[in-house]
Structure formats: structure tokens, C-alpha cells
Amino acid sequence: MCGIVGYSGQKNSLMILLDGLRRLEYRGYDSSGIAIKDNDKIYNRKAVGEIKELEAKIGDKQIEGNVGIAHTRWATHGTPTEANAHPHCDCQGKIWLVHNGIIENHQKLKKQLQKEGHKFSSETDTEVVAHLIEKYYQGDLAQALKKSLHDIEGAYSFVAFHKDEPSRLVAVKKGSPLVLGLAEDGVIVASDVTAIIKQTRDVIYLEDEEIVDINGSNFDIFNLANEYKKKKAMYVDWSIEQLEKNGYPHFMLKEICGQPETVTDSLRGRLVAEEGNVKLGGLDNIAKELNDMKDLISVACGTAYYACLVGEYMLEEYADLSTKSIVGSEFRYRKYCFNKNSVILGVSQSGETADTLTAIKEANKKYITTLGIVNVVSSSVARATTAGIYNHIGPEIAVASTKAFTSQLVTLSLLTVYLGRIRNMSFPMGQRIVQELEKLQEKISKVLENEEKIAGIAKKYYQVPNFAFLGRKYNYPIALEGALKLKEISYIHAEGFAGGEIKHGSLALIDKNFPSIFLVPEDSVYEKNLGNIQEIKARGGNVIAITTEGNKEVAGIVDEVIYIPKTLEMLTPILSVIPLQLFAYHMAVIKGKDVDKPRNLAKSVTVE
């Protein structure tokens, strides 16, 4: 991992490659590098740290090559060093290659190649592939790459060139995303459309084990059986403006403040208030399977997993549907008693999360109906699932997810109404939920008016080393999400708890240096939450509370209070999470952290 860009065409490749790398910075990385065919020479530079370090090493040097590859690396094998940065080459310095993914049998392959006389200069699994291609190379790079794939176990996307094949670029994927951009002057290949759309909006997504052979503006796509594939290009409707900060100091703040609009975009054209229902066209072709469904298993990772936990409460309470959420990385290692009426739901902003995608593929092998909630059209999860729902919120750039999370909650609420009305949800209840969804834009805007107050609270507490986040029922997963946000970008230790569980052990942590943020809206567990707050106050703990507008009772017993508008209990997480996003953001800013690119993290986790 983490970012790939390649270009073959009529233009100078350097600027295209560097621009692509800059647009992939949001994915998280620790080093970068480029390799360009410049006439009969290979120009290669690598650097540890940010892209600007690579740019400094390139300087003002004039590089004329129109074929090249570039990469941002997120370390998996070997520490961040120039030697371990991509691109990697073979013994002769003729074959150059970049890679996302993990080669699981690289140690075995490396030992065999070393016995055959190959010399290695890095600790990475990637370099093994460059030497494998060298071993099989007989004048045709594509065929040598194809032969190498038979020896490799793992997930990967590769882009490679050979010094002796002037304008040729060869790429392949298996379990790691790769997309082609079709420009007038050439072809760009990248791990993410964000690296492409400045040059072109016309893209082709590669399927697993498809090889693309690029020569300038011409290309062929074929599989391991040498069967050629004809694929139509898709138009990406994201704009360049969506990839810029537009006056905000950070992408994260832009995305937090943009949630009134992104939530509206997720709802657009889907609410049918007069029928007390919603319209989800992506599910029409599996209406029978959904009608017969007995249980739903949601699979996701990180923030998306917490969205699924909220969805459990929604679907069980309003759709009368047995629902279970499972962390994607654990799914394949447990035995589940599926039946023909089970449905698997994968939730992923990028649609490329490796563990979630693997779970979907495992379910497909068992002929179980699979659904997806994703933001990226034609992403791997979208293509692997039987049916699904798109978020339609545009690209999310900050590594820490905000607008995607609220969109996932909104989408799960839509799914709840859709499935509930199939079952036994009444028209009045369906209509009430739809009407409250229509009011979300205004209510989110009102929550965002608290930013200055939240920034002040952050300033008061930024030196505290620990935080507890607490909530019950719908807001228990929001406590988990709030703790994750604070950990992700400020590096402050934080834990999320179910409010009623803290007295079963974790209350021992509470003292004056371990404050709590408590989600206590006026809902069905309000009185229980008040009791838990009193337990914390009795131990000398400070409490920051998030509660419903007009509530004076909570303000009288806590140290700080933030208000959110009243809404249906099932929709409170969409409002209550926003103060937690702003709190984490301002804590990180005060502490001088890199908000958009927190250390050690990647935006799209494409390896298990």
C-alpha cells in the first residue's frame, strides 16, 4: 500500500505523476518515489516523508520521459526508508515496478530467487515481483508478468515497465483496486480515481486477474487465459473543486461543515413522504430476497462498523429484523450458520476495504444474497455485491471519516424504512421517519453553530491524557466512534463504553484527570444515563454532556453541556456525533497534529 500512479502517452509524465501523488496523499503514506523512462535512461528518485521531500530531490531537473510510474508507500514490510520505497527494480535495473497489497509467500520466493543468483536491496515483499518478472522475461513484459502471477500468493495491484520496451506500461490487479483513466493524450493507471480526474473523467475499473497492456493512448485488456476483454468507460461525476479545501484550513473541517449538504445528497430522490416510504432503486432487482429475508449480517471495519452497530438498533426496532454486525477482519475466521434467507451487508466508504470485500466474496461462494453501502461508484464492493445503495457524497479526503459516517447512518435509516414497510412498519411510523429525515439538513446546520463553543471546551481539556466516551442504546456506538475520532487525529487515549457497563470495571479509571463525554439526549434511556453521570461525578470525574435543546436538568449536574436539536431517537446519532467530530478536530489542531493525515493510518485499507 498505498497509492499508485502510472502514465504512458504524449505528455511529459513527471507533472502528471506528481499531481497524482499529491491527490493520493489523503490515503496516508510514509515515503514516495518515481521512475521515468527518459530516452534511454531511467530516472529514479525516492524520499521518506511527505511528497514535498520527493519534489525537493527532483528539484529543477528537466525530465523528458513520457512513460513513468509513481507510488506513495504505507509500510507493511520494512521500515520507511528510501531503500524500501517504491518503485523497485530487478538486478539489471531494467524492470521497474510499483505495488499495492501483500505478497504472502514472498519469503519463500525470495529464498528461491537468491539461490538462483538474484540480488535484493530492500526488505519489501514487492521487490520479489520485479525479480520474478526478470526471471521469466523473454522480450515481452506482459507475458513475463503473467507468468509471475502463477507463483504469487496474496493481494496485489502492479504497474510495471521495461527499459527496452519504449512506450509500454503493464498493470494487473487482484484484490487491490486499479483504475484506468482514458485521456486524449494517453492512459493513466492509478489505485484511486482522485489521482486521475484532473486529466480525465473517463475511467475503466479493472477486475481481478485482468491485465492491461498500455502503449500510449492504446491499450488491451486480457485475463490470465489470454482472453481479451472489451470494457466500456464510465464517467466520474466528481469535480476538481471537491478535491480542494475551498478556504478551509483542513479537509476534515470542510467535510464536517459540509454535512448538511452531504446528508441531503444521500437522501435526494429517495424520500416519498406521501407514501410513508422510501425509494431505493438499487434494491429493486432483489425485492423477493429482501421480502423473504430472516436475518441480516452487517460486515464493516472501523468507523463503518460503528455505523452498522447503530443500524442494528434501527433494523431490529423498526424493521423487526434480526441483525448482527461483525468486524470484517474477523468474519472469515468464524463459522456462521447461514441459511438461504440470510443477507450479508457490506459497508465501506471506499468500497475497497479488503476485509469487508473478502467477507462479501466468502458470502458469494455460499450463494448468499449480498448488499453494499458504498460511496464510490463501481468500486470493488459495489461490483461484488448482488445489489446496493450509494452514498452520493463525493470524495472524502481526510483520513478520519466524518461525512461518510453520517451518510452511512442516513442510508441505514433509509434501509430501515424500506425493509420495515415490507414487513409490519405502519404508514404513520414510516411517514414520521421520512419527515424527520427531511429536517436533518436544518438540524445539522444548527449543531454546527456550536463549533466555537466546542473549540473552547477543547482548549480547556487538550492537555488531558485520557478520555471516556459513554452512551446507551443508539448512542453507544457513537461513544465508540467519538473515542476513535479522538484517538485517530489527536493521539489522545480514549475509550468508548456502554453507559451501563462502566460500573462493571471501567469506573476504576475515573478521576479528576480522566474526564468523560456523555451522550445523554432525551430518549428512552435518558433516566438511566443520568444515573451513570452521577456515578462518574461521585468519583470526582469531569463530565461533558451532549443533550437535547432546552434540557436544564443535565446542565445542572455536568461541567460542560452541548445541545443538539430534538429528533426521533433512531436519528439522534446523526446529530450527536457531530459535536464529537468537532471536538476531536479542535483537540488535534490545538495540539499541532496533522489532522488530515494522522500518523500510521491509511484512508483505504486494501490489505488484510
Which tens digits make up the pLDDT trace of 118-144? 999 998 888 999 999 999 999 999 999
pLDDT value of position 510: 85
For 125, the grid coordinates are: 515483499
What CATH number is associated with residue 590?
3.40.50.10490
Is the pLDDT score of 569 beyond 80?
yes
- Percent above pLDDT 70 for the chain: 98
CA diameter of the chain: 79
Asked if 335 and 479 sit in the same domain, the reply is no
Q: Confirm whether 604 is domain-assigned.
A: no
Q: Confirm whether 348 is domain-assigned.
A: yes
- Contact partners, residue 51, CB within 8 Å, separation at least 6: 18, 21, 22, 25, 32, 72
Quick one: 83 exposed, middle or buried, by C-beta within 10 A (0-12, 13-18, 19+)? middle
Q: Confirm whether 344 is domain-assigned.
A: yes
Is the pLDDT score of 505 beyond 90?
no
What b/e readout covers 10-49, taking b as 16+ CB neighbours within 10 angstroms? Answer: eebbbebbbbbbbbbbbbbbbbbbbbbbbeeebbbbbbbe
- Contact partners, residue 395, CB within 8 Å, separation at least 6: 194, 238, 242, 243
Asked if 330 and 345 sit in the same domain, the reply is yes
- Interval 471-497 mean pLDDT: 97
pLDDT value of position 600: 79
Domain range holding 319? 245-438
- Contact partners, residue 597, CB within 8 Å, separation at least 6: 25, 26, 28, 399
Among candidate residues 236, 271, 288, the one where a domain is terminated: 236
Asked if 448 and 522 sit in the same domain, the reply is yes
Q: Confirm whether 425 is domain-assigned.
A: yes
Asked if 62 and 164 sit in the same domain, the reply is yes
Which tens digits make up the pLDDT trace of 352-386? 888 898 889 888 888 889 999 999 887 889 889 99
Q: Confirm whether 605 is domain-assigned.
A: no
Catalytic residue from among 110, 254, 597, 603: 603
Q: Catalytic: 89?
A: no
Question: Strands 210-215, 277-278: parallel, antiparallel or unpaired by DSSP?
Answer: unpaired
Asked if 46 and 169 sit in the same domain, the reply is yes
Q: How far apart are CA 312 and CA 300, in angstroms?
A: 13
pLDDT value of position 427: 96
pLDDT-derived band at 198 (thresholds 50, 70, 90) equals confident
- Percent above pLDDT 90 for the chain: 67
Provide the 10 A C-beta neighbour count for residue 279: 13
For 2, the grid coordinates are: 498505498
Question: Strands 516-519, 543-548: parallel, antiparallel or unpaired by DSSP?
Answer: parallel
- Interval 134-160 mean pLDDT: 93
User: Could you tell me which of 256, 264, 333, 328 has the C-alpha nearest to residue 298?
Assistant: 328
- Interval 485-489 mean pLDDT: 96
Q: Could you check whether the bond before residue 87 is cis, i.e. omega within 30 degrees of 0?
A: yes
Asked if 40 and 152 sit in the same domain, the reply is yes
Which tens digits make up the pLDDT trace of 15-67? 999 999 988 877 668 899 999 998 888 999 999 988 999 999 998 878 888 99
Catalytic residue from among 2, 89, 257, 301: 2
Q: Catalytic: 257?
A: no
Among candidate residues 398, 415, 438, the one where a domain is terminated: 438
Q: How far apart are CA 178 and CA 157, in angstroms?
A: 7
Q: How far apart are CA 598 and CA 71, in angstroms?
A: 19
pLDDT value of position 267: 96
Q: Confirm whether 601 is domain-assigned.
A: no
pLDDT-derived band at 531 (thresholds 50, 70, 90) equals very high
DSSP, res 63: -
Q: Confirm whether 608 is domain-assigned.
A: no
Dihedral, 477, 483, 484, 490 alpha carbons, nearest 10: 160
pLDDT value of position 508: 79
User: Could you tell me which of 85, 98, 115 has the C-alpha nearest to residue 161?
Assistant: 98
Domain count, the chain: 3
Q: Distance between the two ends of the chain, CA-based, in angstroms?
A: 11
- Interval 243-256 mean pLDDT: 90
pLDDT-derived band at 606 (thresholds 50, 70, 90) equals low
pLDDT value of position 129: 94
Asked if 513 and 573 sit in the same domain, the reply is yes
Dihedral, 17, 19, 23, 27 alpha carbons, nearest 10: 40
The answer to whether the CB of 313 falls within 8 A of the CB of 568 is: no
For 598, the grid coordinates are: 494522522
The mean pLDDT of the chain is: 91
- Contact partners, residue 40, CB within 8 Å, separation at least 6: 163
Q: How far apart are CA 54 and CA 155, in angstroms?
A: 27
Q: Confirm whether 520 is domain-assigned.
A: yes
- Contact partners, residue 245, CB within 8 Å, separation at least 6: 251, 254
CA separation, residue 98 to residues 35, 87, 158, 319, 606 (Å): 9, 5, 6, 47, 15
Asked if 181 and 54 sit in the same domain, the reply is yes
The answer to whether the CB of 530 falls within 8 A of the CB of 520 is: yes
Among candidate residues 395, 420, 438, the one where a domain is terminated: 438
- Interval 182-195 mean pLDDT: 91
Asked if 465 and 392 sit in the same domain, the reply is no
Asked if 406 and 338 sit in the same domain, the reply is yes
Q: What is the DSSP string of 73-101?
A: E--SSS-S-TTTSSPEE-TTS-EEEEEEE
Asked if 208 and 260 sit in the same domain, the reply is no
Asked if 485 and 551 sit in the same domain, the reply is yes
**Letter for the amino acid at 493?**
H
pLDDT value of position 425: 95
What CATH number is associated with residue 200?
3.60.20.10
